[in-house]
Structure 1
Amino acid sequence: MTGSILIVDDDPVQRRLLEAAVTKFGHGAIVADGGEAGLGVLDGPNAREVSVVILDLVMPGLDGIGVLKAMRERGIHVPVIVQTAQGGIETVVSAMRHGAFDFVVKPASPDRLQTAIGNALKVEAVEDEMKRTSRRRGGHLTFKDMITHSPAMDRVIRLGQKAAASNIPILIEGESGVGKELVARAIQGSGDRRSKPFVTVNCGAIPDNLVESILFGHEKGSFTGATEKHTGKFVEAHSGTLFLDEIGDLPLDVQVKLLRAVQDGEVDPVGGRSTVRVDIRLISATHRNLLQQVKDGKFREDLFYRLNVYPIFVPPLRDRRDDIPYLVKHFMEKVAPADPRRRLHGISAKALAMLEAYDWPGNIRQLENAVFRASVLAEGDVLTEEEFPQIRAQLEGTVNLDAEVAMPGPGPDSDDSPRANGVAASDEGFAVGEPDPPTRLQPRFGTLRALDERGNVRALADVELEMIKLAIDHYNGQMSEVARRLGIGRSTLYRKLKEYGIDPESGRIERLAS
């Protein structure tokens, strides 16, 4: 007997059918008649009983996608099986992008539903074992532990190593899932405070009315519900490192108190009569453009300049595809001790080429989840494209998944000693646990479309514009490097930007209108 299955559906007939089915499978059932009610269960006292959620996508009020978003924002990691009568590829992609574990089309057969639940429970069990193993190991993380073989990460590591030797405030920028907390832990683990506390706070996951109390603490009876004294994260991190993730989500009124804490090393607990001195190393992180938030009046300018003393930008995974084979191997090896019944021997070349072709909007976190799920559920001893159905569904029609893969020889800038253990590659893919390759598998396809929707060759001007945009994005708006890599003069580049109506001062790809 496992934990209960939470059924979220506004249709009473569907709820009864699903309840009867999961009970027959040997699970307990909890039913909710809509998205809000389902979230109420996941937030309530019975939340620990829920092992899997079966979620209808189309519901009045808070729909299935809204529930998935809310679960991600609140850090609820229960696997979700989405069901809907609309089985188009767009619906599948949308649900999976928002964190769904699996997808069934109504009316789902009992066998299909039982398989989906069984897979979800299997993945959850291995994940729990991995967490227990990780807690037993403990230890300090350093930059030597980072899995990278990409030049794009060299600057991050150099900056991080220099930062570890000082105590100045650090601001780590980058998209969600790129590993900002990993960089923060490596900085702490490489400095003088390595044996001191490392306290993390996700500022975006705290209700606005509790942010001040959680950060700075409160006295007993200082507000309704304050039945005990709470020290706060600043005091918990005393003598160590405080990592404020998603700091751009802090309310303006809390930003004032944070500025004082950073400047003076003092915090004022809610309801307290005196200040508390703290000695912390502050590392902040955000996926937002804080400077733009300052201009929009959503973030204090004085606090921004206090935090932005030493900025470090972590590039997205699509800009460091060289790392994908090494990360895949690492994530496969993480699963092995938690699932000792069998061991995967590697991944096929086509599957690896497919993973390298995908843009990974969720970055390393999304890649880890995909490899983890595939490793646990794989029937054979080698991962193939079949183990990544969601990724394959999004790539089909965009790239040739049956393209051959090649092993190019080492270039002049190649490094035969990657920073972390890698993979052994061949025409068949790579095998887990073997020596590192000097280069990575590369699929033979480009990143620009040559044909339009009607199958005609695109105009040269359109392809040129797209290439310029790609180069500006890839080299982070460094126009000299963009011009050099495109093989044109800087003045020619600026002339073309003007012709296409692009503002050369903006640089960033998101500011370019297509």
Structure 2
Amino acid sequence: MTSHVLVIDDDPIQRRLLTNMIERLGHVAHLADNGRSGLEILDRKGGLINVILLDLMMPEMNGHGFLEAIAERGTDIPVIVQTGQGGIETVVLAMQAGAFDFVVKPVSPERLSVAIANALKMEHRDGRARTTKRPRSSGIGFDDIVSASPAMIRVLDLARRAAQSNIPIVLEGESGVGKEMVARAIQSTSERSHKPFVTVNCGAIPHNLVESILFGHEKGAFTGATEKHAGKFADADTGTLFLDEIGDLPLEVQVKLLRAVQQGEIETIGARHPQKVNVRLISATNKDLINEVKEGRFREDLYYRLNVFPIAIPALRKRKEDIPVLVRAFVERFAGEQRLSTPLNVSSGAMALLTAFDWPGNIRQLENAIFRAVVLADGPELTVKDFPQIATQIPGYVVSGGAGFSWEEAGPSRTSVVETDQLPPVYPQFGKPKRAEVRTVHAEPQSEAAIASVDEGGDVRKLADVEEELIRFALKFYRGQMSQVARKLGIGRSTLYRKLKDYGIDPDNPFRDAA
């Protein structure tokens, strides 16, 4: 079904690119060059717009002003925020103001498609809570993996390709990132989808029992072996065996695993002859296996046999775009499981809080936090107060009395929008924008960021002269990136180009006049 997307961005090139992406997705794009123009379009076509794609840094009315304005009007159209900085506080402020999702410029068509699709799902919800409960451990496909980040989309693309063959796969990533879920999706998409899927947590088995559990044993093979045990390889015959935390396997068991991988046969303890098995092997680890090889804790030959198709799953803190969609998915699922009579929503403050947190336990920790909050919820909306353990663990944040939270700064007041390089170094993965090292910005002996307010005679300089010097400095500071320069100066690109022409500034060499 065709949907209508309102694009609010002061950069005409960005508007054109976004329009092309939106139209290729089968939707209709409506364009505005600032927040005020966006509000005017909403006044005329408010009932038609399904999703808003909003830039944050614009002249006249920026993105934050626009979010505040539609909140006052009671408009509930999902808003996807675009940020060129990627700064965590910028994102948090947007989420607090009611943004549905955020994307980092330049946004890829795949990421934009996911963001719009998720927003449309929210916009088209019929308001009824689900009451069905599906087993979490079975029947999981790629469509069941909730994701919006480009990094995770690439992971899922690799996994889909790997599912079409029997190639050995190693899933790498921290505990709780969803390795087993990806493994199950691979299984369900492969030709072995209706065959057994057997999981083994190698790190949870006593070392003296690993061999027996994996390869089985005959009755009487050792003291205590009162019955025959088939073993996990035999259980997974014709299907898939998922070996979680494979880096914890003892060296003596690694030898037998190598034979199973190379020759497709296992040696059952106490058996006279090896047994043929047809098993698709998917391994997972939270360790650096190549380092384990160097340290002599993992066999090199086994490493190269298993690591044919490695897939690295990033930690949740490195794909924060996934947090809002995961939160909504978990809330919807747990609300259905708890058979709540009405849908349960998440406040903008709570969503901002959850997005700001780094989640050392990754998705598993987020899921448990949401589960607890849903079980204890006593209203129609989850707020910051429902996540007390999370709020107290974020350095630099303080919980406010209004069930919200804010960035704690020195001084009695704070600016409404804080630049990335003003943030405390809590979220290094967002980082600071790379800037050119400008040792001197002028022939005059002044600091790189200093622009004189008075001339040599002691009089205040003309506004045009100060503006010209500021534009020259900004061009040098942002390495000639015109969109960035215009955004930071608070003007449109067309205005910037006109001023370059008026002042005779060469954008490639701003401290040399254009010819």
Q: Cα 1:449–1:257, aligned 2, differ >3 Å: closer, same or farther?
A: farther
Cα distance, 1:486 vs structure 2:
2.1
Q: Deviations over 1:361-381 (max 9, x none)?
A: 000000000000000011111
Checking the alignment, whether the CA contact within 8 Å between 1:170 and 1:311 is kept in structure 2 is yes
Q: Cα 1:331–1:216, aligned 2, differ >3 Å: closer, same or farther?
A: same
Checking the alignment, whether the CA contact within 8 Å between 2:397 and 2:405 is kept in structure 1 is no
Deviation larger for 258-267 or 322-331: 322-331
Aligned length: 297
Q: Cα 1:445–1:205, aligned 2, differ >3 Å: closer, same or farther?
A: farther
Name stretches of at least 5 consecutive residues in structure 2 with no aligned partner.
Answer: 1-129, 408-415, 438-515
> Which of 394, 415, 434 is the aligned partner of 1:486?
434
Q: CA RMSD in A?
A: 2.9
Cα distance, 1:291 vs structure 2:
0.4
Cα distance, 1:286 vs structure 2:
0.2
Listed as ranges, the matches of 1:173-188 within 5 Å are 173-188=172-187
Q: Deviations over 1:261-296 (max 9, x none)?
A: 000001011111111100011000000000000000
The separation in 2 between residues aligned to 1:258 and 1:449, in whole angstroms, is 52
Aligned AA (1:360) = W
Checking the alignment, whether the CA contact within 8 Å between 2:170 and 2:306 is kept in structure 1 is yes
Checking the alignment, whether the CA contact within 8 Å between 2:399 and 2:406 is kept in structure 1 is no
Checking the alignment, whether the CA contact within 8 Å between 1:257 and 1:267 is kept in structure 2 is yes
1:387 maps to 386
2:299 maps to 300
2:260 maps to 261
Listed as ranges, the matches of 1:349-368 within 5 Å are 349-368=348-367
Cα distance, 1:140 vs structure 2:
2.8
Aligned AA (1:375) = V
The separation in 1 between residues aligned to 2:142 and 2:322, in whole angstroms, is 15
The separation in 1 between residues aligned to 2:370 and 2:353, in whole angstroms, is 12
Q: Deviations over 1:280-337 (max 9, x none)?
A: 1100000000000000000000000001000000011011111111111111122123
2:347 maps to 348
Listed as ranges, the matches of 1:112-127 within 5 Å are none
1:329 maps to 328
The separation in 2 between residues aligned to 1:386 and 1:257, in whole angstroms, is 53
The separation in 2 between residues aligned to 1:447 and 1:220, in whole angstroms, is 66
Listed as ranges, the matches of 1:104-253 within 5 Å are 133-135=133-135, 140-253=139-252
How does the TM-score come out when normalised to structure 2?
Answer: 0.54
Listed as ranges, the matches of 1:444-483 within 5 Å are 470=429
The separation in 2 between residues aligned to 1:308 and 1:374, in whole angstroms, is 40
Deviation larger for 318-327 or 252-261: 318-327
Cα distance, 1:257 vs structure 2:
0.4
The separation in 1 between residues aligned to 2:423 and 2:369, in whole angstroms, is 30
Checking the alignment, whether the CA contact within 8 Å between 1:266 and 1:275 is kept in structure 2 is yes
The separation in 2 between residues aligned to 1:326 and 1:350, in whole angstroms, is 15
The separation in 2 between residues aligned to 1:398 and 1:345, in whole angstroms, is 25
Aligned AA (1:288) = K
* Identical-residue share of aligned pairs (%): 56
Checking the alignment, whether the CA contact within 8 Å between 1:177 and 1:362 is kept in structure 2 is yes
Aligned AA (1:213) = S
Paired residue secondary structure (1:242): strand
Cα distance, 1:224 vs structure 2:
1.8
The separation in 2 between residues aligned to 1:404 and 1:393, in whole angstroms, is 12
Checking the alignment, whether the CA contact within 8 Å between 1:399 and 1:445 is kept in structure 2 is no
The separation in 1 between residues aligned to 2:303 and 2:248, in whole angstroms, is 13
Q: Cα 1:266–1:446, aligned 2, differ >3 Å: closer, same or farther?
A: farther
The separation in 1 between residues aligned to 2:286 and 2:312, in whole angstroms, is 10
Q: Cα 1:265–1:403, aligned 2, differ >3 Å: closer, same or farther?
A: same
Name stretches of at least 5 consecutive residues in structure 1 with no aligned partner.
Answer: 1-129, 406-442, 452-462, 475-481, 490-514
Q: Cα 1:139–1:208, aligned 2, differ >3 Å: closer, same or farther?
A: closer
The separation in 1 between residues aligned to 2:146 and 2:349, in whole angstroms, is 22
Aligned AA (2:321) = D
Checking the alignment, whether the CA contact within 8 Å between 1:404 and 1:444 is kept in structure 2 is no
Cα distance, 1:444 vs structure 2:
6.2
The separation in 2 between residues aligned to 1:165 and 1:393, in whole angstroms, is 46
Q: Cα 1:448–1:199, aligned 2, differ >3 Å: closer, same or farther?
A: farther
Q: Which has the higher contact order (CA 8 A, sep 6+)?
A: 2
Cα distance, 1:134 vs structure 2:
3.1
Q: Cα 1:166–1:446, aligned 2, differ >3 Å: closer, same or farther?
A: farther
Cα distance, 1:338 vs structure 2:
2.4
Q: Cα 1:391–1:306, aligned 2, differ >3 Å: closer, same or farther?
A: same
2:111 maps to none
The separation in 2 between residues aligned to 1:281 and 1:184, in whole angstroms, is 11
Q: Deviations over 1:127-184 (max 9, x none)?
A: xxx9x9434x886322122101111112101111110111010000000000001111
Checking the alignment, whether the CA contact within 8 Å between 1:293 and 1:299 is kept in structure 2 is yes
Checking the alignment, whether the CA contact within 8 Å between 1:202 and 1:245 is kept in structure 2 is yes
The separation in 2 between residues aligned to 1:218 and 1:351, in whole angstroms, is 53
Cα distance, 1:255 vs structure 2:
0.4
The separation in 2 between residues aligned to 1:237 and 1:252, in whole angstroms, is 22
Paired residue secondary structure (2:392): helix
Listed as ranges, the matches of 1:265-280 within 5 Å are 265-280=264-279
The separation in 2 between residues aligned to 1:277 and 1:173, in whole angstroms, is 28
Q: 2:282 matched to 1:283?
A: yes
Structure 1 segments, 4+ long, off by >4 Å, are 398-405, 443-451
Paired residue secondary structure (2:134): helix
The separation in 1 between residues aligned to 2:152 and 2:161, in whole angstroms, is 14
Cα distance, 1:342 vs structure 2:
3.5
Q: Cα 1:151–1:244, aligned 2, differ >3 Å: closer, same or farther?
A: same
Paired residue secondary structure (1:395): coil
Q: Cα 1:139–1:182, aligned 2, differ >3 Å: closer, same or farther?
A: closer
Q: Cα 1:192–1:334, aligned 2, differ >3 Å: closer, same or farther?
A: same
Aligned AA (2:134) = S
The separation in 2 between residues aligned to 1:343 and 1:208, in whole angstroms, is 50
Checking the alignment, whether the CA contact within 8 Å between 2:218 and 2:227 is kept in structure 1 is yes
